[in-house]
Structure formats: C-alpha cells, structure tokens
Amino acid sequence: MQQYLYLIPALPLAGFLVLSLAGRYLSRNFIAGIGAGSICISALITILLSARFLQSPPETGAYTQVLWHWFSVEGLVSNISLRVDSLSLVFICIITFIGALIHIYSIAFMREDRDYARFFASMNLFVCAMLMLVMADNLVLLYLGWEGVGLCSYLLIGFWYETPGNYRAANKAFVITRIGDTAMIIGLFLLFKELGTLYIPDVLARATQHFSSGADGVTLIAILLLCGGMGKSAQLPLQTWLPDAMAGPSPVSALIHAATMVTAGVYLIARMHTIFELSPVAMQITAIVGAVTLFVAGCSAMVQTDIKRILAYSTISQIGYMFLALGVGAWSAGIFHFFTHAFFKALLFLAAGAVIETLHHEHNIFKMGGLRKTMPVIFWTFTIGAAALAALPLVTAGFFSKDQILWYAWSAGGGHPVLWALALAGAFITALYSTRLILVVFWGEMKTTPGHLPSRVMTVPLVILAFFSVAAGWIEWPHNILHVDLFSEEVQHVLPATVLKEGLPAEIVFQLIAVVVSLIGIYSGYSLYYGQSPLLQQWKQSPTVMSVRDFFFSGWRFDQLYDALIVRPFLFITRINKSDISDKLYTAIANVSMLLNRQFSVTQNGSLRWYVTGVLIGILFIITLQLLL
C-alpha cells in the first residue's frame, strides 16, 4: 500500500495539468469526469490506505515514501517525500473525501459557468497542494503546499473576476495571509538555524534536547509559527480576509474556506506540538487567540444578513475553538473538532449554495424565507448541519467535539475559567445564530420565488455529508458516558495525551452546563426569530442596540481599524514620496547626460563648412600645445 502513497496527491495534479493545458478543447462532461474523477480515485485510495493503516499500523507509526531528491544546500536536505502518520491520515481523509463530494456537487453547481475547466483545474490544484501540505515529511515541502493553497485560494476567490470587488477580496485574502506566511518562514529559518534540520521527525526529536522548556528561542519560533497559522486560519488579528473571501463560488467556500485550507494553521500547530509544548507562553497565546476569536467572530455572525457571511464568521469562530483546544493542550480534541467541523461546515456551505442558486443569486437571508416545503432535502440537510454547528446534544457530531473542548478549556493543563467562560459564551452565540439562520431562511413566508430546484447530483453529496455530520461524532464519546475513544486513541500515536488538572468538579457538571447553554441559545433564537417577536421590534427602535449591532455587523470595525492604522498611513507615505527620494541620484545622472547630449548635438548641424572649421580649430589647438609645451 505504501508504494501507492504518491498517487493521492499525484492524481489531482494530473487532473490540474490536463484541465489547464487542454481544458478549452474538452467537452463539459469530459471536464467534469476528469475534475471530479481524479479526486474520487484519490479518495478511494485514501480509504483503502486508512483501512490498511488502522488494521495493521506500520511499526514506525507512519507510511513513508521518498519520491525524489529535491535539493540539498549547506546541510539543508529537502526531498519530495511523503509521510503519513495518524494525524496526517485524518487530514488526508477529510481533504479527499469531502473534496470528492464537493467536486461532485460542483459538476452540477458550475454547469452553466463559462470557465468550467478553469474552475476544476484550480480546485484540483488546490487539493493537490493541500495534500502536499499535510503529507510533507519536511517543512520546506510543507511550506510549498502552504503557499500552493494560498495561491489557489486567491485564484478561486477571484474566480468571477468580472464582478466588481471580487478581485479586491482576492487581493485582500492574499495579502493578509501573506503577513502570516512571512512570520512563518522566519520561524522556519530560525528553526533551521537552531536545529540544523527541517525534517519533521528530526525537528521534533531534537527540539526536546536542544531547548529547555520556556526558553526564549523556542518561544519566538512557536509564536512565529502561530502567526503563520493565524493568517491561514483567519484568527484574530488576521481574520478580516475570510468574510470577504465569500466572493468565490459556494463549493470553493465549502472546500477551501471552511473544511480544509483554513484549518492548515491547526495542522501546523498540531504537527509542531513539541515546539509549542516547550513554550508555555506560546501555548497560552494560542489559547487566548482562539478564545477571543471565537467570541468576536461569533458576535459578528449573529447579526450578518448575507447567508455566506454568517457561515464565514461561524467558520472563524469554530476554528477559534480548535486553536483554544490546541492552546490548552487538548491536542486530540482540537483535531477532533476539525474532523467533525469539516463535515457540517462543508454541508452548510453547499446547502447555502443550493439555496442561493435556487433563489437567483439572492444572498440576503431576510429575502429568503418559507423554503421548508419547496426544498425539503435542502431544508433537512441544512437543519442537520446547523444543529451540528449549534452542538445539539447527543445527536450531532458537533456536540461531541465541542463538548470536549469546553471541558478541556478549564480542566486541561493550560485551561483557565476565563477561557471556559468565553468558549461557553461562544457556544450560546453559535446556538443562537444557527437557529436564527434556519428560522429566517426556511420558515415564515416566501419572499423570493424559487427557480430550478437543485438536481440529484447536488443533493446526494448533501445527504452523505448530513449523515456524517451526525455519525462522525460517534467514534469518540465523552469518557463518562460511553467508553468509545477510537479517534483520540489513534491520534495519540502522534499527539500527546491531554493532561488534566486535579480537584475539579466532575465532568458531568460541565457537560450539563454546556448542554443547557446551547439549549438556551437555541430557545433564544427560536423566541426571537420565530414569527414576530416584540423584543426584536423594540431593539430595532433603540439606538444603543442598533449601534452595537452595526459594530458587530462590521466585524468589530477591524477593517476600519486597519484602514486607519496601516492602509491610510501607507498611502500617505506613498503620496509624499511619489517621486522616490532614493531615485533622485539616478535621475540626476540621466538628466546630466541628456543635457550634455542636447548641447553637443547642436554642433552637428549638417554644414560642411562648420565641420572644417572645427577640424581647423582642433589642429591649431594641438599645434599650439606642441609649441607651448
């Protein structure tokens, strides 16, 4: 099985090459076949591979395959080589499996689009780059994948580049993630300087010997890597690009900006867990960033009106949970939340895409309504997704993963009551806006008449995802309810087990609080948005409530803040330095030469007599010199 490892990223790459080189000569069916087929075969191979991996785990804990030698410079040896351990396996499964479903969905979703081949080419390239990111055995190759997914994200956000403003969203996403990338590459340089290797197993092994716990060097490296993760995973303060990234087609939002790429930061931190464990400060920062982000983004999600922006903010908020879990040292809980979140968030985006498509590209949820009867499949799958997002107890996957994080936010080694309180507030807000979304979109009276209903090619992936949004949680139960921990057992081959604090109340107390809070959230959403709520009308009159709402709506004014702090001063500097001071010397040289040229070219006036005079004067000059000297 090990020798087929390379096929998993190679097939999407082949798909990309065929579609980008020959796409314009192929029929639509053929393009769809190649685009979706390559990912589906990758997914099949992955499933076979994981079955083999789980049945008879390799002795070293990982499948490895060295494809070829890339380069070696001054002791830095980089190979194009793959390494799949249980952490990578989780990511590969999600990427290929959800990727395959989203590609199948896209066959119908993008059917009418002019650039069918370009879409599938970019999507295939994205899957390839993302697989390289998670399968790389050294950090250089990981960085290649890291930049590759950034590029594809840029290409796909700006996919409809003719719509005004989309290119701006694409640029914003690229530039802001670039800030994180720069921090990350500096972190990699430092890591190489300190440890002399970027081969991941060696890095992790040497780090414990080289650094003492809490040393400045390792803290700096961990914080720089965290900044890289914050950029890619849209965490505070680099989160502003993700809501705008919704300019891309819905399948892109589902795959890249919800299920996979934005969790690259989570993967990076989990992969480098030894470095982070050596630095308690960096762990604390990770947890705080996650907790603050989940709260801030949750508040914004609560008041948005664009269906995709609601989901975008909720993605930021859910990734905040993952960061929180990683930060407090609940490694497997963070990865488990990634696992369940990928299913229900992809489901929500795809269902939202179907709704938007059916309602003639209407994004505003308050112009939807009453779709429960007309689109039953979409309604049920969307409801399951939203229930998972709201962590409806025991029946949804979201509950199992989020409950763990809430419990560990206090009880794990790095946990703190404040983190727990923020996470709990986030859980309440999540339940509230999920309910709001369902009620506003699917209940009430119909405000826009639906067009073509989505075909079966689109609904079948939704049903499969809905099944997993429920079932994916069953492989890991809370310890006190049922002793099933397939997921954490597997992941803990790679990641350290969570250390618990002593002397805390029983886990069941926390679980009950979490359950009650999310139920209250759902009930508040129900009482506010089911029918006409007098409280809501009252709020709409009150200027204080409305100004708070506007504040949340603009994403806590982060865009304006960055505009005032960075963009405008930068533009100001460029304006005063338009003629570029450092260029003055070079333009001066050019100007002097031009002046001399003008002076001398006057002498070339075409008159023979003038030239003869010149020769004569020259001769006289030379003779005079001879006589004098």
Partner 1 sequence: MAPIHAHTVLVVAAILFVLGLAGVLTRKNILFMLLSVEIMLNSAGLAFVAAGARWQQPDGQIMYLFILAMAAAEVSVALALVVQIHHQRKSLDIDQLKELKD
Rounded least distance, CB 595 to partner 1, Å: 15
Residues linked to residue 84 through DSSP beta bridges, in sequence order = 63
Q: Per-residue string for binding with partner 1, 339-358, x by CB under 8 A?
A: --------------------
Residue with tokens 């480098």: 272
Residue with tokens 């914080």: 223
Q: Which is nearer to partner 1, 3 or 604 (CB)?
A: 604
Rounded least distance, CB 181 to partner 1, Å: 54
Please give the backbone phi and psi of residue 493, each rounded to the nearest 5 degrees, phi first: -65, -30
| Terminal-to-terminal C-alpha distance of the chain | 94
CA 226, 231, 236: angle at the middle one, nearest 5?
A: 80
Q: Residue 534 interacts with partner 1 (CB under 8 A)?
A: no
Q: Name residues contacting partner 1, limited to 109-138 (CB under 8 A).
A: none
Q: Which is nearer to partner 1, 582 or 604 (CB)?
A: 604
Please give the backbone phi and psi of residue 62, each rounded to the nearest 5 degrees, phi first: -155, 145
Give the chain's radius of gyration (CA, Å): 29
Rounded least distance, CB 628 to partner 1, Å: 20
153: how many CB neighbours lie within 10 A of its CB?
26
Whole-angstrom distance, CA of residue 127 vs CA of residue 468: 21
Q: Helix H segments across 255-279?
A: 264-271, 273-277
Whole-angstrom distance, CA of residue 146 vs CA of residue 261: 9
Rounded least distance, CB 614 to partner 1, Å: 11
**Amino acid letter, 4:** Y
Rounded least distance, CB 626 to partner 1, Å: 17
Q: Cβ neighbours of residue 150 under 8 Å, at least 6 residues apart?
A: 174, 177, 178, 181, 232
Rounded least distance, CB 611 to partner 1, Å: 10
Rounded least distance, CB 616 to partner 1, Å: 7
Measured CA to CA in angstroms, residue 44 lies from 11, 134, 580 at distances of: 12, 18, 57
Q: Which is nearer to partner 1, 576 or 627 (CB)?
A: 627
Please, is 41 exposed, middle or buried when counting C-beta atoms within 10 Å of its C-beta (0-12, 13-18, 19+)?
A: middle
Q: Which is nearer to partner 1, 55 or 605 (CB)?
A: 605
Q: Which is nearer to partner 1, 209 or 599 (CB)?
A: 599
Number of residues forming the site for partner 1 (CB under 8 A): 11
| Per-residue tokens: 324 | 């929180």
Compute, in degrees rounded to 10, the torsion defined by CA atoms 14, 16, 17, 18. 90
Q: Name residues contacting partner 1, limited to 593-612 (CB under 8 A).
A: 601-602, 604-609, 612
Q: What is the three-class DSSP state of 501?
A: coil
Q: Residue 613 interacts with partner 1 (CB under 8 A)?
A: yes
Q: Which is nearer to partner 1, 532 or 599 (CB)?
A: 599
Q: Residue 616 interacts with partner 1 (CB under 8 A)?
A: yes
Q: Which is nearer to partner 1, 161 or 611 (CB)?
A: 611
Residue with tokens 């709990």: 424
Q: Which is nearer to partner 1, 537 or 601 (CB)?
A: 601
Q: Which is nearer to partner 1, 417 or 606 (CB)?
A: 606
Whole-angstrom distance, CA of residue 90 vs CA of residue 342: 11
Q: Which helix (H) or strand (E) holds 18?
A: helix 7-22
Check residue 261 and report its DSSP letter: G
Rounded least distance, CB 629 to partner 1, Å: 23
Q: Which is nearer to partner 1, 560 or 613 (CB)?
A: 613
Q: Which is nearer to partner 1, 29 or 597 (CB)?
A: 597
Q: Per-residue string for binding with partner 1, 544-583, x by CB under 8 A?
A: ----------------------------------------
Q: Name residues contacting partner 1, limited to 426-455 (CB under 8 A).
A: none
Rounded least distance, CB 589 to partner 1, Å: 22
Q: Cβ neighbours of residue 575 under 8 Å, at least 6 residues apart?
A: none
Rounded least distance, CB 610 to partner 1, Å: 10
Asked whether the bond before 237 is cis by omega within 30 degrees of 0, the reply is yes
Q: Which is nearer to partner 1, 575 or 598 (CB)?
A: 598
Rounded least distance, CB 600 to partner 1, Å: 9
Rounded least distance, CB 186 to partner 1, Å: 55
Q: Residue 29 interacts with partner 1 (CB under 8 A)?
A: no
Count Cα neighbours of 583 within 13 Å in the Cβ-side half-sphere: 6
Rounded least distance, CB 149 to partner 1, Å: 59
Measured CA to CA in angstroms, residue 184 lies from 33, 153, 266, 268 at distances of: 37, 18, 14, 10
Whole-angstrom distance, CA of residue 266 vs CA of residue 590: 53
Q: Residue 617 interacts with partner 1 (CB under 8 A)?
A: no
Least Cα distance to 566 among 27, 172, 197 occurs for: 172
Q: Which is nearer to partner 1, 55 or 607 (CB)?
A: 607
For binding to partner 1 (CB under 8 A), which residues are involved?
A: 601-602, 604-609, 612-613, 616
